[in-house]
């Protein structure tokens, strides 16, 4: 068994926005209703860029804007995409006002930007993706599953990225 099979930590390195978008598209081929993707990383790291790729891969038609001012944008597709951005939320109690908990269980895929602001409120089994800025155009996505389902997802995503060329030229 390879060493990476022993751990739930994976990393995906991209060398430009197109690579991060592609990584999101690959993730779209693997997600199932109910999956939760918790995104962290600083301002401008590439969280929205990743979700735009995810949305495209899930068949969302049209522009996928940043939900910063709306807190939640719902995108229709065969499986709906619930795109949260918790940056402007002040307290965890406001999560109830935006139907956060019900939405996570509503049968779609949820992607949550700034999820790391409210770690206690996240479901136990979620895919944590932290985006590190490693250069002007390069990013490292640190991917970790926190439960059985998300560990599977983390491994398949990392395998899919490797099989797709591991980001060469992306
Ligand atoms: N490898 C890369 N992956 C993703 N974005 C990149 C990359 N290289 C450069 N960029 C640029 O970084 C920016 C990422 O913006 P994006 O809105 O996706 O960040 P964000 O993490 O959602 O920020 P915010 O915290 O404001 O929501 C874009 O301007 C994009 O062009
Ligand atoms: Mg964003």
Of 121, 124, 158, nearest in space to 143 by CA: 158
* Residue 2 is assigned to a structural domain of this protein: no
Domain extent for 39: 12-162
| Length of the chain in terms of residues written | 170
Q: Whose CA is nearest to atom 10 of ligand 1?
A: 17
Closest listed ligand to the CA of 46: 1
Residue 6 is assigned to a structural domain of this protein: no
**Tens-binned pLDDT, residue by residue, of the chain (170 aa):** 444 455 679 999 999 999 999 999 999 999 999 999 999 999 999 999 999 999 999 999 999 999 888 899 999 999 999 999 999 999 999 999 999 999 999 999 999 999 999 999 999 999 999 999 999 999 999 999 999 999 999 999 999 999 998 766 56
Structure tokens at 74: 């719902």
* Beta-strand pair 36-40/109-113: parallel
pLDDT at position 45 is: 98
Q: What is the CA radius of gyration of the chain?
A: 15
Mean pLDDT of the chain: 94
Q: What is the CATH number of the domain that holds 72?
A: 3.40.50.300
Q: What is the pLDDT of residue 69?
A: 84
Residue in 12, 40, 44 to alter for ligand 1 test, most ligand atoms within 8 A of Cβ: 44
Is 4 inside any structural domain? no
What is the number of the ligand closest to the CA of 73? Answer: 2
Residues 6+ apart with CB under 8 A from 36: 104, 109, 110, 112, 122, 123, 125, 126, 127, 150
**Could you tell me the two tokens for 54?**
């995810």
**pLDDT digits over 130-150, tens only?**
999 999 999 999 999 999 999
Cα distance from N-terminal residue to C-terminal residue, the chain? 29
Q: In this structure, is residue 170 part of a structural domain?
A: no
Is the pTM above the cut of 0.85? yes
Indicate if ligand 1 lies below 6 Å from the C-beta of 17.
yes
CB 67 within 8 A of CB 88: no
113 alpha carbon – ligand 2 mean position (Å)? 6
Q: Report how many domains make up the chain.
A: 1
């Amino acid at each position: 068994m390879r060493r990476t099979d022993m751990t739930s930590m994976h990393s995906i390195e991209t060398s430009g926005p197109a690579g991060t978008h592609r990584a999101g598209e690959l993730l779209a081929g693997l997600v199932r209703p109910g999956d939760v993707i918790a995104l962290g990383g600083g301002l401008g790291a590439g969280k929205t860029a990743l979700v735009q790729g995810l949305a495209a891969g899930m068949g969302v038609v049209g522009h996928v804007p940043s939900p910063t001012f709306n807190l939640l944008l719902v995108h229709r597709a065969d499986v709906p995409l619930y795109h949260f951005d918790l940056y402007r939320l002040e307290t965890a109690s406001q999560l109830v006002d935006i139907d956060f908990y019900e939405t996570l269980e509503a049968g779609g895929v949820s992607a949550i930007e700034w999820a790391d602001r409210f770690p206690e409120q996240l479901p136990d089994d979620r895919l944590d993706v932290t985006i590190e800025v490693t250069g002007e155009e390069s990013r490292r996505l640190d991917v970790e599953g926190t439960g059985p389902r998300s560990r599977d997802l983390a491994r398949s995503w990392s395998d899919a990225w490797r099989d797709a060329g591991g980001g060469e030229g992306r």
